[in-house]
Amino acid sequence: MNNDNEIAGDPFSVPHLLQPVAEHPSTVAQFAGMATALAGDRECWAPLVRYDETTRWYHRLRTGPGYEVWLLSWVPGQGSGLHDHGPSSGVHTVLEGTLTERTARGPRRLTPGALHVFAPGHVHEMVNDSLEGAVSLHVYFPGLTEMPMHAQRARTQPQVAC
């Protein structure tokens, strides 16, 4: 049988034709892939998780040229406050439990497995509105150098005409 799409020989025997393997991620897709891989490696992060009733707990899990990875835990009721990440972009995912992300567009429920990518200037608040603890993973590129806090927006009720 003749297959016109078949590659003759072993392409791995011609190293100069292969793309170099990236030692560290450098694209949004590679950072998302790293977040997914770390999320799936429970043995890497689960033993490190701590819950603190008085403040949000966090642990820098990994660093590399131009990025860092943070592991955070959230007891019920804990939140980040309304903030952005300065010049950093990022990827975050929930590893355990449920978090709510609040933005100008409204609230979004975050559950394990979904990745959320954001650009510099993305203003949001993360909150554990549930009755159980939660754990999340955050990748920032470049590494997090600032986290400006923003005044809470007033939540107004619709006006009802009498």
pLDDT tens-digit map of 107-145: 999 999 989 999 999 999 999 999 999 999 999 999 999
Nearest Cα residue to 105 out of 124, 86, 92, 79? 124
Task: Record the tokens describing residue 48, joined without a space.
Answer: 């490190």
Nearest Cα residue to 133 out of 107, 95, 105? 95
**pLDDT tens digits for 11-68?**
455 555 555 556 789 899 999 999 999 999 999 999 999 999 999 999 999 999 999 9
Q: Which residues contact 142 (CB under 8 A, 6 or more apart)?
A: 66, 67, 87, 88
Cα–Cα distance measured from residue 100 to residue 79, given in angstroms and rounded to the nearest whole number:
9
Contact at 8 Å (CB) between 133 and 76? yes
Binned at pLDDT 50, 70 and 90, residue 158 comes out as: very low
Contact at 8 Å (CB) between 130 and 26? no
